[in-house]
Amino acid sequence: MERRGFLAASCFAGLGALAAEAAGAQGSGRGRGDRPRRDIYELRRYTLDTEAQRAGLEAFFADAAIAALNRIEVNPVGVFAPLEGFSPVYVLLRHRNFWTFTSSTQRLLADEEFLAKGAKFLDAPATDPAYKRVESSAMVAFEGMPELEIPSKAETRILQLRIYESPSVKTGQKKIEMFNTGEIAIFRKVGLNPVFFGETVVGSAMPNLTYMLGFDNMGEREAAWKRFGGDPDWQKLRAIPDYADKKILSNITNIFLKPLPCSQI
């Protein structure tokens, strides 16, 4: 298959997975067959050049975007900054079905209040752009955690974003299986409080899975990871040969974030 054809097929396969997982969400709240409906997540990464861009982005979400997104049933909206520095800013959007994911841009641009309140950001000229670039990925929630949770609303809370890349689709699915069948439960037991777990179906560095954890503070995070490392159930699970990191993982990205005041997560 030519490279162009392969990329197109991969894109359609990913979008097909999103559509399939969202099937049934309009009525019964169930997915295919008797499977529960699963959230669809959109994770945006805004790269900024200046502090002024950061201030403008924060104002845009606080004054216009979050309320408009909530009006089209995208809720909650998380807006996160790095612990140090001003860039990049991450935005997490929870879509309850495939239609809100695919129609959100058109629906927002038909919202007069959104256009008015967000005009400075939306109409920024090329000579003074609102941001350098935005990258986005789409994910389907794991069966083991089909819906987003908000574990902490403390003012001191931090979020830990982790991305696990795998050497192949098959090994990536094995890591997802590991989470679904045991690791998520161990996380909960030791205090590694999940916000979401998502399988990336459209994005970069695929195949990968992405998850986020929430803590009241950094000390709580450190204590929970220490408990996790010594947990007997974790030791037993990681000893299964098919779940060995060296077989199913090729890279781990670890990012610490803090919510901006406007964030709903």
For residue 88, cis peptide bond before it (omega within 30 degrees of 0): yes
The answer to the question of residue 27 being in a domain is no
Q: 114: buried, middle or exposed (CB in 10 Å: 19+, 13-18, 0-12)? A: buried
The answer to the question of residue 1 being in a domain is no
Distance CA 16, CA 23 (A): 11
Task: CATH number of the domain at 178, please.
Answer: 3.30.70.100
Side-chain half-sphere CA neighbours of 31 within 13 A:
21
Distance CA 100, CA 147 (A): 16
The answer to the question of residue 11 being in a domain is no
What is the pLDDT tens value at each position of the chain, 265 positions in all? 444 443 444 444 455 555 554 444 433 444 444 556 899 999 999 999 999 999 999 999 999 999 999 999 999 999 999 999 999 999 999 999 888 899 999 999 999 999 999 999 999 999 999 999 999 999 999 999 999 999 999 999 999 999 999 999 999 999 999 999 999 999 999 999 999 999 999 999 999 999 999 999 999 999 999 999 999 999 999 999 999 999 999 999 999 999 999 999 9
Residues in the chain: 265
The answer to the question of residue 265 being in a domain is no
Estimate to the nearest angstrom the gap between the alpha carbon of 189 and the chain centroid: 22
Structural domain count, the chain: 1
The answer to the question of residue 184 being in a domain is yes
The answer to the question of residue 15 being in a domain is no
Distance CA 1, CA 257 (A): 41
The answer to the question of residue 65 being in a domain is yes
The answer to the question of residue 12 being in a domain is no
What residues are paired with 46 via a beta bridge? 89, 134
Which pTM value belongs to this model? 0.88
Q: 239: buried, middle or exposed (CB in 10 Å: 19+, 13-18, 0-12)? A: exposed
